Amino acid sequence: MTDEKATSADHSTVKHMKWWGWGVEGVGFHHEDKPDFAPFVLKAVDVDLWTATKAQPLPFDKLDVPDSNVSPEFFAALTAAVGDDNVTSDAMDRVVHTFGKSLRDLVRVRSGKIERTPDVVVYPADEAQVQSVVDAAVAAGAVIIPFGGGSNIAGSLEPIVGETRTVVSLDLGRLNRVIEVDADSGLARIQAGALGPDLEAQLTERGWTLGHFPDSFTHSTLGGWVATRSSGMQSDKYGDIADIARGLRVVRPGGTLVIRAIPSASTGPSVREMIVGSEGRLGVITEVTVQVHRIPEKRDIYAYFFPNWATGLKAMQEISESDAAPSITRVSDARETGFSLATSKASKGMSKFLSGTVLPTLMKRKGWNLDDICLSFIGYEGGEAHAKRQKAIVDAIVKKHNGMGVGKGPGVLYDQKKFDTPYLRDFLLDMGAAGDVSETAAPWSKLAAVHDGAYAAAQGAFDKLGKVGWIMSHLSHSYHSGACLYFTFAFKFGEGDPIAEYDVVKSAIQQAFIDNGGTISHHHGVGLEHSPWLEQDISAGGVDLVKSLFASADPDGTFNPGKIVGGRLVGGRVATLIDTDAIETEEVQA
Amino acid sequence: MTDEKATSADHSTVKHMKWWGWGVEGVGFHHEDKPDFAPFVLKAVDVDLWTATKAQPLPFDKLDVPDSNVSPEFFAALTAAVGDDNVTSDAMDRVVHTFGKSLRDLVRVRSGKIERTPDVVVYPADEAQVQSVVDAAVAAGAVIIPFGGGSNIAGSLEPIVGETRTVVSLDLGRLNRVIEVDADSGLARIQAGALGPDLEAQLTERGWTLGHFPDSFTHSTLGGWVATRSSGMQSDKYGDIADIARGLRVVRPGGTLVIRAIPSASTGPSVREMIVGSEGRLGVITEVTVQVHRIPEKRDIYAYFFPNWATGLKAMQEISESDAAPSITRVSDARETGFSLATSKASKGMSKFLSGTVLPTLMKRKGWNLDDICLSFIGYEGGEAHAKRQKAIVDAIVKKHNGMGVGKGPGVLYDQKKFDTPYLRDFLLDMGAAGDVSETAAPWSKLAAVHDGAYAAAQGAFDKLGKVGWIMSHLSHSYHSGACLYFTFAFKFGEGDPIAEYDVVKSAIQQAFIDNGGTISHHHGVGLEHSPWLEQDISAGGVDLVKSLFASADPDGTFNPGKIVGGRLVGGRVATLIDTDAIETEEVQA
């Protein structure tokens, strides 16, 4: 079944997030119905929500947006490629396409001083138009930065400051269709610009699901997931995007690279895996053939409590070693559990459980310290009997580790709220507090050290800045040999450069990951944000191979130059960037 | 626990297969106790085993082995690196290190005319010595071909004919230890030169298994598995080697590339995946950190029969979609089932089942045609209850597809015999018949076409050659979106060039894979054998990326030049090879 629906004639239907924050205007976090939240924030980051003034974004016309350098000739060439209505160098379009949505991005865009935007934004309708844009850009000596949902938080989207060439933001938003489902193979051809909800809706219509639900789901695209090696909440079952994406189409100068959907192949080195995680540096991903699954008969998320982090961690490990194979394995540490309780509405969620007397009494009777308890969610999917059996295996392991099950209620709430965290981050930023995330993966034997190391590093950074700060964590994905730990940190901005303060904390945590055996990112990519640690992660020899590949496959640096390797955050890691690609290309080829 | 045992002082303990065939001398296939075999072979490939003369290998001293070109200076440098006893340019050592064990390799080596051998073979004791060898080779402008067990059948090991530089075969055989097991994480650091049985023995001692059992297991190494993206018989459960190998150490000029063992990472493009399947072109793999598993409580292989191939295939697909997740999914087509029956001993195995009257009567009563029946093996592993449940799910699916279970007996025999097939191939070669394999993977929706296409292609090739020929197949691995089909073909050599005849058949089958949506190899790698189809498999753009990587990462072509891309079997695909790397490097960089 091939979907031959015409794509919209112009880009008016392409959805973008608001230029100054996450999501759409009119949606936001509020704490009025969460009585524990304000006291929690006061204690955690020293921000008094009762008295703080909520910052308002600058009016857009106050922004200092650099002019576009696009030449009339090149603009005309792009127009010839995609039509009059689908090329723009309007300031708003360019600003929307300048950054992702990291804290660094929001601070910069809200400051009103934007050093470099793309010069022109194009919205091709299909792969043929993408090819025309790429070829026109190559002919004009321009730079291309592919753009999906704009949710990136690793600095993978921004033009390099100092880039003198014309920068094209190539927005894939019109390539948003599920083209075909091979029902016999459980494979779907989907255009790269499809947002999570849009592609899931098209799949659901046909009885399928992709099963890929990253936190950014609402505002991120299939192409973006592939370009950054994304993971989702149910990846324990469905695999990371590197497992899910079997076939690829990538527009490169002069033609399209095609990897057919093959379940497994020994043709190495795997080109599929070169494209996955390439962050636009090897061309423009236009289509992905992905594994899709029939919507399972049963899909439940159960909540559990553990007396402390160590037992929770140990239980997750034992679950991963067991025959249970659940779809979600998640456990929050004590701090994050406290945070979850504080952000619950008075009458719902966790509060409902712990505000009563039954559960706390039970916990105390077991000898638990309520400040140490850890909340866990485990997902079960499949046939009715299978899900039941998964749960039976897990329940036994939980019991062995002195945990207790509290049913499905909290899991339902978690499932509903799971995509809302970025709104909370924006709310805190409005109130003067920096909040951001860092995540890593490490072998089971190193997870405790990674956790404690990141905590100590964050605390050291807070101390250095003379601040009350906050860090919390959860285990979000389990594998045979280890797991992903996801950290959220926050602190109140002072009078100084907010980016410089942020860098002190973020850098300390990233370095702690490396020092304790973790990777620089389990599912957010490298971009510019994590690039400084890449050599420590994959060794100088590994970085050499990546540079070799980019230098030889894209010798002119047409495609998103400076990302992953070659670009650098300089000047105390403030928001100025230099492009060292040219130099490094010479080094490699010397 | 780190194993600090000293490695043997010299290479006398390094095991090699015999120069003229598979395995060790004194082990071979014989058919005297298999009464159905000779009639089967007569019918299948027109070879009369009762009257045919068994060819004897040439005495080694009749071989026409080219002289070594190694200079005294370079030989001295290698000796300085690894010691007097571990460098050799003896003719036997060089011949043993010239080829893998494909049919093409055996025909060539048995012909006595060997166009190019390595000039020198070195046996470093550890990674530091590997580094010294690599650096000495780079300084001397030599070529390095890493050598593990020598079981390769894709032409990945041979020096390129016409290579004027000194060719070093770097034998990893002394790097054969399990260095350390991280019991907490299920990870083991293992040296790359460890043969399958040796590493399994060291793991078993500690209560672990790798779970990787390719057909070549007895004579192949961990490093070789990684270098060719190998799969094993239980890969449905344990994963392909690309999943199993989490950490890597690769010696490159001037230093070691280190990929730490991380369960999953978003640092793309994945350098780990560049090394996996690189067939020695990016350096010398010295150590791999692999996922290991506790030996499961239960491990059974059950046999089933299906009335025909279509129902067997459909059942495998449904099993792969189910919650059963077995460790092995295998079904032979009718021809291979017939072959299995013919190679069974009179009183054992399948014959025992079908020689009686009960089973055939039962099958006939079900309306089955005994010429169409298909034998299947399904493996169950894990806890007792889990294995039982897996089997219950599978049994229901088998029943739905009109199959029948016949218990564990045949599975036990299969498990014992599984590594012996190459001996049978050699026996047939001795008797004048070419036997070889080609395997592929494709989506479920294309498997029937791939199967029928390969059969038609082989038959077309046999017709073209005017021969009675044989082809048979089984499904060997299942994935969510498809499976691996493994083909074995055979025909009687004529008076002409045996390699030219072989090429007609092999080429036809490989082309049929591509034409029907399969890949060129699911688990044998690319080498020189499959390289001609690489562009059709991964597109010109994909080949460009691979060439880009090799050209930039190894600009002098030090490491196994010509393999995967750049080398070519020329002259009607006969055994002469040219190195076109230099030319193609220029193309890429132009």
Each residue of B208-226: pLDDT tens digit?
Answer: 999 999 999 999 999 999 9
**The pLDDT of residue A10:** 78
Q: What is the pLDDT of residues B16-71, one digit of tens each?
A: 999 999 998 888 888 888 888 999 999 999 999 999 888 888 899 999 999 999 99
Please tell me whether A336 is known to bind a ligand: no
- What percentage of chain B has pLDDT greater than the value 90? 81
Q: B160: which 2 tokens?
A: 């390129």
CB atoms within 10 A of CB A589: 14
Bridge-based pairing state of the strands A143-147 and A167-171: parallel
Cis link prior to B410 (omega < 30° from 0)?
no
A486 annotated active-site: yes
- Which fold would CATH assign to domain B63-171? 3.30.43
Arithmetic mean of pLDDT, A86-113: 95
Q: Where in chain A is the domain with CATH 3.30.300.330?
A: 421-515
- Taking an 8 Å cut-off on Cβ atoms, the answer to whether B542 and A441 are in contact is no
**A572 pLDDT above the threshold of 50:** no
Write the residue in B445, B518, B522 that is nearest to A266 by C-beta: B522
CATH class of B421-515: alpha beta
- Asked if A440 and A518 touch (Cβ cutoff 8 Å), the reply is yes
**Closest-CA residue to A389 (of B376, B386, B300):** B386
- Cβ-defined contact of A477 to B264 (cutoff 8 Å): yes
Per-residue pLDDT, B163: 94
Amino acid (1-letter code) at residue B137: A
Does B216 count as an annotated binding residue?
Answer: yes
Using CA coordinates, name the residue in chain B closest to A228: B266
The pLDDT of residue B212:
97
> Is A220 marked as binding a ligand?
yes
Give A212's contacts in chain B (Cβ within 8 Å): none
Mutate to test the interface with B, among A264, A284, A519, A587 (most CBs of B within 10 A): A264
Q: Which tens digit of pLDDT belongs to each residue from B455-479? A: 999 999 999 999 999 999 999 999 9
CB B228 within 8 A of CB B215: no
Q: Where are the beta strands (DSSP E) in B148-243?
A: 167-171, 178-182, 187-191, 208-209
Tell me the angle at which helices A309-321 and A384-400 cross, rounded to the nearest 10 degrees.
140
Long-range contacts of A86-93 (CB under 8 A, 24+ apart): A86/A10, A86/A11, A86/A122, A86/A123, A86/A124, A86/A125, A86/A174, A87/A120, A87/A121, A87/A122, A87/A123, A88/A120, A88/A121, A89/A119, A89/A120, A89/A121, A90/A121, A91/A60, A91/A63, A91/A65, A91/A117, A92/A19, A92/A60, A93/A121
C-alpha span between A576 and B286 (Å, rounded): 41
**Structure tokens belonging to residue A47:** 């921000």
Query: Are B525 and A268 in contact (CB < 8 Å)?
Result: yes
Q: Which residue of chain B comes nearest to A256, CA vs CA? A: B541
- For residue A582, the model assigns a pLDDT of 34
Which stretches of B415-481 are assigned E, i.e. beta strand? Answer: 433-443, 469-478
- Report which of B166, B319, B289, B183 is spatially closest to residue B226, judged by C-alpha positions: B289
Cβ partners under 8 Å of residue B408, min gap 6: B300, B301, B302, B303
For chain A, give every residue range classified as CATH 3.40.462.40.
Answer: 298-408
Question: Phi then psi for B383, rounded to 5 degrees?
Answer: -65, 160
Contact residues on chain A for B482, CB-CB shorter than 8 A: 185, 262-263
Which residue in A215, A223, A241 sits closest to A153, CA to CA? Answer: A215
For the domain B298-417, what is the CATH superfamily, name and number? Answer: FAD-linked oxidase, cap domain/gating helix (3.40.462.40)
What strands, in cross-sheet order, belong to the sheet with B120-122?
B87-88, B120-122, B167-171, B143-147
pLDDT tens digit sequence for A413-427: 777 777 788 899 999
Higher pLDDT, B516 or A576: B516
Give me the amino acid identity at A19.
W
Q: What is the pLDDT of residue A350?
A: 59
CB-based contact B273 A274, cutoff 8 Å: yes
Q: What is the pLDDT of residue A568?
A: 61
Model pLDDT, residue A569: 55
Out of A260, A481, A545, closest to residue B274 by CB:
A545
Cβ distance B542 to A252 less than 8 Å, yes or no, reads no
Confidence of residue B7 (pLDDT cuts 50, 70, 90): low
pLDDT per residue as tens digits for the range B537-569: 999 999 999 999 999 999 999 999 999 998 765
pLDDT of residue B387: 94
* Mean pLDDT along residues B425-431: 93
pLDDT of residue B352: 61
Residue A527 has pLDDT above 90, yes or no: yes
Quick check: B256 and A548 CB within 8 A?
no
Question: For A466-481, what is each residue's pLDDT tens digit?
Answer: 999 999 999 999 999 9
Phi–psi pair at B388, nearest 5 degrees = -65, -45
Sheet holding A167-171, edge to edge: A87-88, A120-122, A167-171, A143-147
pLDDT mean across residues, chain A: 91
Tell me the mean pLDDT in the region A291-301: 95
- Residue B9 pLDDT: 64
When pLDDT is averaged across residues B307-330 and rounded to a whole number, the result is: 96
Residues of chain B with CATH 3.30.43.10: 63-171
CB nearest B259 (choices: A269, A445, A538): A538
Amino acid letter, B486: Y
> How much is the average pLDDT of A39-53?
92
Q: Is B549 in Cβ contact with A545 (below 8 Å)?
A: yes
Question: Minimum mean pLDDT among A236-240, A265-269, B12-16: which range?
Answer: B12-16
Ligand-binding annotation for B204, yes or no, is: no
**pLDDT tops 50 at residue B578:** no
B263 contacts A277? CB cut-off 8 A: no
Residue B583: pLDDT over 70: no
Task: Tell which CATH architecture fits domain A298-408.
Answer: 3-Layer(aba) Sandwich (3.40)
Tens digits of residue pLDDT in A155-192: 999 999 999 999 999 999 999 999 999 999 999 999 99
Q: Which of B264, B298, B322, B438 to mutate to test the interface with A (most CBs of A within 10 A)?
A: B264
Residue of B182, B237, B481 to mutate, testing the A interface (most A Cβ within 10 Å of its Cβ):
B481
* CB of B528 closer than 8 Å to CB of B563: yes
What angle (nearest 5°) sits at the alpha carbon of residue A243, between those of residues A238 and A249?
125
In degrees and rounded to multiples of 5, residue B148 shows phi and psi of -105, -105
**What's the pLDDT tens digit per position in B84-109?**
999 999 999 999 999 999 999 999 99
| Partner-chain residue, chosen from A389, A519, A520, that has the shortest CB–CB distance to B389 | A389
Considering only CB atoms, A445 lies closest to which of B182, B255, B260, namely B182
Q: What is the pLDDT of residue A78?
A: 98
Nearest chain A CA: its distance from B496 CA (Å): 32
Å from B407 to nearest chain A CA? Answer: 23
pLDDT the model gives residue B360: 86
Helix (H), strand (E), coil (C) string for A275-332: HCCCCCCCCEEEEEEEECEECCCEEEEEEEEECCHHHHHHHHHHHHHCCCCCCEEEEE
Contact A526 B256 (CB under 8 A): no
Query: Which of B427, B534, B510 lies closest to B461 in space, CA to CA?
Result: B510
What's the gap in Å between the CA of A9 and the closest CA on chain B?
30
Higher pLDDT, B449 or A349: B449
**Does the beta-carbon distance from A267 to B229 stay under 8 Å?**
yes
A532 interaction partners in chain B (CB closer than 8 Å): none
Spatial distance between the Cα atoms of B474 and B486, rounded to a whole number of angstroms: 5
**pLDDT (tens digit, 9 = 90+) per residue, A476-521?**
999 999 999 999 999 999 888 999 999 999 999 999 999 999 999 9
Catalytic, out of B123, B302, B455, B486: B486
- Stretch(es) of chain B classified as CATH 3.30.465.10: 178-294
Residue B16 marked in a binding site: no
Judged against a pLDDT cut of 80, whether residue B337 lies above it is answered with yes
Q: What is the ipTM of this complex?
A: 0.94
C-alpha–C-alpha distance, residues A29 and B359, integer Å = 69
CA distance A397 to A380: 15
Set of chain B residues whose Cβ sits within 8 Å of the Cβ of A227: 268
Chain B residues with beta carbon closer than 8 angstroms to that of A555: 589
Sign of the CA dihedral with A190 first, then A196, A199, and A204 last: positive
B178-294 to CATH, choices 3.30.465.10, 3.20.10.10, 3.40.50.10860, 3.90.1720.10: 3.30.465.10
Taking an 8 Å cut-off on Cβ atoms, the answer to whether B520 and A267 are in contact is yes
Task: Spell out which residues of chain A touch residue B542, defining contact as CB-CB under 8 Å.
Answer: 257-259, 271
Shortest distance between the Cα of B236 and any Cα of chain A, in A, equals 11
Mean per-residue pLDDT over chain B, rounded:
91
